[in-house]
Structures are given as structure tokens and as C-alpha cells.
Amino acid sequence: MSLIIGGFSSIMNLPCLLLIIAGTAIGIIFGAIPGLTGTMAISLCLSMTFGMTSIQAFSMLCGLYIGGISGGLISAILLKIPGTPSSIATTFDGAPMAAKGQAGKALGAGLLYSFLGGLVSIIILMFLAPAIASVAIKFGPQEYFAVGVFSLTMLSVMAGKNPVKGVASCVLGLFFAMVGCAPIDNALRYTFGWNKLTGGFALLPCMIGLFAVSELLVSARDGLDDLHSAEVKSYTLRGFGVSISEFVSNAFNFIRSTIIGIGIGILPGIGGGTANVIAYSVAQAQSKQPEKFGTGCVDGIVASESSNNASVGGAMVPLLTLGIPGDTVTALLLAAMLVHGLNPGPLLFIKNPGEVYSIFAILFVAHFAMLAIQYVGMKGFVRLLKIPRHILLPVVILLCAVGAYGNNNRIFDIGCTIFFGFIGYLLIKYEFGLSPFILGFILCSTIETNLRNGLAFSKGDLSSFITRPISGVFLGVAVCVVIWTIIKNIRRKRLATRQDSAK
Amino acid sequence: MSKLKKDKIIGLFLIAFGAFILYFSTGIKMINGASYGVGSAFFPRICGVFLILLGAALSVGDIVKNKKSIETGTAAPVEDCSKMCLASLIRMSVTIVTLVLFVALLRTVGFLICAIFMQFVLMVTLAPEQKRTRKNILGYLIISICTALIIDLLFVKVFDLILPAGILKGVF
């Protein structure tokens, strides 16, 4: 308890509070404008945090995370375009409500349940993360290797439409992380005599390229629509739009969606983008009036918005306790932690408990900031929806280039950003998915180092990876997931063949 | 090119890339005693083998699908690559060349000029056709100059980052 109080007291100063407010506001803007995401906001603001203390830096970055997730509901309801993947399901009922003249009610409900879902998940994170960290502290190399393999398997086979492409994307990520000095013996790999590659590709330029530059290339390919032509629905915001009877009747829906959000957030690589759609589907399936969903019913907004913000707390659990990012935003937060000298993992709770509990406190306060900023500044955010993306994107790219350069003061890193941007573009174009590549890139060192250390500890005995209970369970589950995916695909193909022959 | 044929080519590319990884893994120096049987070449080799297998799975799967779709007469339509594709290709090429020039000229020309050039070209390239009037283009130039100046001042003066000054060294 004293650690929690300590965390709150360390952020209760003007610079931190201002950074939380600024971060949340910028995050909301990026979340609200279709085509820009919270991930991109963190990419470009990361460079501004280099000169800050770690707590100040995370005040801004966590604010961006919360704002980025929540901001998507504005465009989902008023433009019928989800600002971020986390708000896809909000569009299903938010847009019909806006069409019926209930945009204010939809925005109010979305705001309220984003706030509540996020807040509950942060409270759970505060108590769950230290407990998991106390278990993870006993992990040896075998366990770390198994958790790494489990995370990669889960993400690769479940992230995209085609598991083969998902796994290939992950393997490509692993390969690019191997360039440079190998762990343990420092043997040079794939540098081709180029000294600049000796240190390998830095994480930050790689991430910025994959998220921001690839988006620029996709926009260049598809061309940018003029958002001025999109009709923004008018609204009047009174209270939170939800009556007491609606609040009571949605209590179970809220709890269930929040649990789904936290659970999905904990699973590696599957964040708010999946959580909101699953929570919405479950709410519809369990509803007494499923036919109302999609016609402008508050229950749908409750499910979508509470689950996407709840995934924030969930995604932070594997990041802080094991150093494994739960989604793309937490992958960037991992990079930020490394830049600020924090090594995520169970030891973080022992070495830097002050910083960990400060992050919890920042996430908690950022939810209040998000609620207040969106409620008060809604009109301003709606106006910002009209800023043309062909002006915003080049500015974002320039800031990202500065961020990549500022990491090590090397122009080479800006080159890497463009290179990875092009790789990201190809991965998106050919439907490989970015998330498996990123997780492969991040986890390569963990998996390889722990495999080699594990073999060294067990004197070359591979069976120790299976006989140790925790690593055995994780590897077993990973194998089961692969088998289940293969069976599922075979069944799907058979069904498709039957349907074709029936035609 | 149809999606199915694309998958076959992607599969072949993955096989070639896997072979490249395997071939160059032979040059990785093994340091005796560093580990039990698993040296620094082990992981790249695993990756290479996986990529070859995955590439083969993608190509074979694609060939089988293609065969079936021809038999059932449900072959995927060939993409129409007309004016739309050309405009897209031009935008893509200009964007990539601009980014490459930005990096190539950064040290010699300096951040400020490169930033103005990159932003201006990208804004004009990405703008919808009706937003490319003379007045708009002038607006893009002014925005590019202002944002480049603000970012340069912000990072150099406030965040103490040393950005390459290039030919403007001593001026700012």
C-alpha cells in the first residue's frame, strides 16, 4: 500500500500532471483522426522525452496510450469511421445512434464506459502485476524461453487471416533482430563487413519505421480522401447520456466486457482492436434482445468501449512482469522503458518499484484526465477531425525522423526507419501483419539467449525445457495452439470445398 | 496479378530469402566452449529452414487453390491496373525518393532545408487533386517552413538535440 501511495505522490507535481494532460490530449487527437493512431503518437513524442526523467517521460507516454485508445470513439460515432481499431465495434451502434439524433448520448456513454473499463483494469493491474512478478522472479532460462515461444506462437497463428503468413512475419522479425553481434559469444552475423550493422538494428527506429513510415507509404499508394467531405453529425452532450436504469441494466455487460478486455489484453499481441469486437459479439450473443444490436443500442457501446480501455491494464501485465509487450503500443512503451534505463521484467519490481508504481498511478490519473479532457474539449476535437491528413502525415514523419535520429544521434538510424517502413509496407500489402514481426524482433534476443543459457545450465540436455513444469506447460500449450489452428484450417477448407461442390 | 498468383511469388521469395539466410549462416564464426552444441549460427539456421518451409507451404497451397478455382470456374479476377495504379505508383515513387533524398542529403545540406523539402514534396504528393491549386501549394510551402523551423528550434534549443546544420552551420 505504501508503494501505491508513493507512486501517486511521485506524480503529484505540476510537470507530471501537465505532461499527463498534454499526453492524453494529443493521444485523443491521434485516436480521433482516422489513419493516425496512438502508436504513431507515441512514436513521434518519444523523442521529446529523451531529456526528461523516467517518471515525467511515462507521464506523457501513458497519457498518449490512454488518449489514443479512447479518442477513436469520437470519429466512430460522429463520422462512422473508427479512429483506431479499438473503436471498430463502437461504430456498429454509435453511428446508428448518431443517425437517430442521439450522438450526444452515444458519446457520453462511450466516454463513461471507456473511463470505467480502464479504471477497473488499472486497479486489477496494480494488484495482479506484483503477484505475477513474484512468481516470474523464480523463472529460469527454460521458463523465459518457453514464455517467449508461447507468445510468438499465439500471436503468429492468431493475429492474421493466414497463420502461415503470420509465422513467416514472425520469423522475418526474428531474423532482422539477429543482425549484428550474437548474444553470449558476440559472433558477428549478417553484417557483411559493414561496421554500422555491428550493433544491430536499434528497436526504436525499427518500430517508428514499421508504424509511421509504412502508414505514409500506404497513404501514398491509396491516396488520401478529403475528410472535409465526410459529414460530421451534430450532437449535444448532456451528462453521460445514460439513465440510471440503463446503467443498472448494463452492469453485468460492463463487468463481462471489462474482464474480456483485461484477458485479451494480457494475451501477447492481441490488444484493444480484438477485445472490442469479441466483447461486442459476446454481449450480442448473451443479450435478451440481440436484434437491437447494430440498430443504435447503448449496450453495444458499453461492451466495445469498456473492453478496449480494459485491455490497457491487461496489456501492461506481461510488459511489466515479463518484458513481453501485450500489443503494439506496449511494444513502443518497452522501447521507451529501455531508452530510460528501465528493464521490464520481474526484477523491475525489485530494482525500480518507485517507477513501477508511478506508472500505475499515471495510468490511473490519465483516465480521469481523459474523461475531463474529452468531456470539456469535445467540440475542439471534433474540429480537429477536419485537419487534412496530407498536411498532418508529413509533419508526423518529420517528428519520427527526429525521434529516430535522437536515439543515438546517427543518420544511419533514420535510414533504418525508412528501410523498416518499406518492410512494414510490404508486410501490410501482402497481409502478413505487423504485430508478429514486431514481437519476433523484440523477443528474439530473449528466446535465443535463454535457449543457450538453458542448454548451458542443463549441460546440453534439451529435455529440461519440457520437464520443468512451467516451461513444459507453456510449450505444451503452444504446441496445442498450433495443432488446433491446423485442424481449424483443414475444417474450414473442407467446408469451403463442400459449399463449392454444392453450388 | 491475382491474389493467388501473388501468394505463389511471395512463397518463392520466402524460399529464396530462407536460402540466403542459410547460405550466409555458414560464415558465422563458432566459438568453442561458448555453449552446448548451439552456437551463434543455430538460430539463423532455424529461421532459414522455417522460411523455406513456410514459403513452400504458401506456394504449394496457392498452386492447389489455383488449380481448384480453375476447375470450379471461380478463378480470382485479374486486378485492373489502369490510371488508378499509375497515379498510385507515381505517389509511391515520389514518396520513397523523397525519403531517401532526405536521409542522403541530411548531413551535407542540413536538417532545416531537408525538412522543408521533404514536408513540402510529401504534402503536395499526398494532397487530393482538388487540393493542389497554386494557393494551396503556397500554403503547403509556408506550413513546411514554419513546422521545420519550430521543430528545429524545439529540439535544438529546448531538448538539446544536435541536429545536422549542414550548409546553414553558423547561421542558426
Under the banding of pLDDT at 50, 70 and 90, the label for residue A489 is: confident
- How far CA A459 is from CA of A144, A287, B35, in Å, comes to 18, 57, 9
pLDDT digits (tens, 9 = 90+) for B8-61: 889 999 999 999 999 999 888 776 655 566 788 888 999 999 999 999 999 988
State the ipTM, two decimals: 0.90
User: What CA–CA distance (Å, rounded) separates A94 from A73?
Assistant: 8
User: What CA–CA distance (Å, rounded) separates A187 from A169?
Assistant: 25
Of B36, B40, B54, the CB nearest to A460: B36
Instruction: Give yes or no for a contact between B12 and B55, defined as CB atoms under 8 angstroms apart.
Output: yes
Cβ of B51 within 8 Å of Cβ of A401? The answer is no
Supply B22's cell numbers.
Answer: 542459410
User: What CA–CA distance (Å, rounded) separates A384 from A378?
Assistant: 10
Distance, in angstroms, between A285 CA and closest chain B CA? Answer: 34
- Which chain B residue has its CA at the smallest distance from A171's CA? B47
Sign (positive/negative) of CA torsion A380, A382, A384, A387? negative
For chain A, say whether B30 makes contact (Cβ under 8 Å).
Answer: yes
For the entire predicted model, the pTM comes to: 0.80
Cβ of A398 within 8 Å of Cβ of B151? The answer is yes
User: What CA–CA distance (Å, rounded) separates B102 from B163?
Assistant: 13
Which has the higher per-residue pLDDT, B83 or A488? A488
| Amino acid A219: pLDDT | 87
- Which uninterrupted H or E stretch holds A180? strand A180-181
Under the banding of pLDDT at 50, 70 and 90, the label for residue A41 is: confident
Of A391, A415, A459, the CB nearest to B123: A391
| Amino acid A421: pLDDT | 92
Of A175, A221, A418, the CB nearest to B91: A221
- Which chain A residue has its CA at the smallest distance from B136's CA? A391
- Which chain A residue has its CA at the smallest distance from B146's CA? A395
Supply A375's cell numbers.
Answer: 468531456
User: What CA–CA distance (Å, rounded) separates A331 from A322?
Assistant: 12
Instruction: Provide the H-helix boundaries in B81-110.
Output: 83-109
Of B40, B72, B143, the CB nearest to A500: B72
**Averaged pLDDT for residues A71-80:** 80
| Amino acid B44: pLDDT | 92
Which has the higher per-residue pLDDT, B129 or B76? B129
Which residue reads 559472433 in cell numbers?
A: A187
Highest mean pLDDT (candidates A179-188, A263-272, A322-331, A366-375): A366-375
Residues of A in contact with B99 (CB under 8 A): 213, 397, 418, 421
Please report the residues numbered 73 through 102 in chain B whose beta carbons come closer than 8 angstroms to any beta carbon of chain A. Answer: 74, 87-88, 91-92, 94-96, 99-100, 102
Supply A359's cell numbers.
Answer: 506508472
The answer to which of A73-82, A100-109, A358-367 has the lowest mean pLDDT is A73-82
Residue A499 burial by Cβ neighbours in a 10 Å radius (0-12, 13-18, 19+): exposed
Own/partner pairs for A259-263, CB < 8 Å, 24+ apart?
A259/A310, A260/A307, A260/A310, A261/A117, A261/A121, A261/A306, A261/A307, A261/A308, A261/A309, A261/A310, A261/A311, A261/A314, A262/A121, A262/A124, A262/A310, A262/A311, A262/A313, A262/A314, A263/A314
DSSP notation for A259-327: HHHHHHHHSTT--HHHHHHHHHHHHHHH-S-GGGTTSS-HHHHHHHHHHHHHHHHHHHHHHHHHS--SS
pLDDT at residue B1 greater than cutoff 70: no
Question: pLDDT averaged over chain B?
Answer: 84
- Which uninterrupted H or E stretch holds B78? none
User: What CA–CA distance (Å, rounded) separates B44 from B87?
Assistant: 40
| Amino acid A453: pLDDT | 86
| Amino acid B94: pLDDT | 94
Of A164, A222, A399, the CB nearest to B151: A399
Q: How many residues does chain A have?
A: 503
End-to-end C-alpha distance for chain A, whole angstroms: 65
Q: Give percent of chain A above pLDDT 90.
A: 16
- Which chain A residue has its CA at the smallest distance from B152's CA? A402
pLDDT digits (tens, 9 = 90+) for A351-388: 888 888 999 999 999 999 999 998 887 777 777 777 78
Residue B132 burial by Cβ neighbours in a 10 Å radius (0-12, 13-18, 19+): middle
The answer to which of A238-247, A363-372, A409-418, B25-34 has the lowest mean pLDDT is B25-34
Which has the higher per-residue pLDDT, B71 or A336? A336
Strand partners, A180: A189
Q: Which of A47, A57, A43, A341 is closest to B159 using CA atoms?
A: A47
**Averaged pLDDT for residues A464-493:** 86
Question: Which of A44, A46, A174, A185 to mutate to test binding with chain B, by most B CBs within 10 Å of its CB?
Answer: A185
| Amino acid A342: pLDDT | 87
pLDDT at residue B82 greater than cutoff 60: no
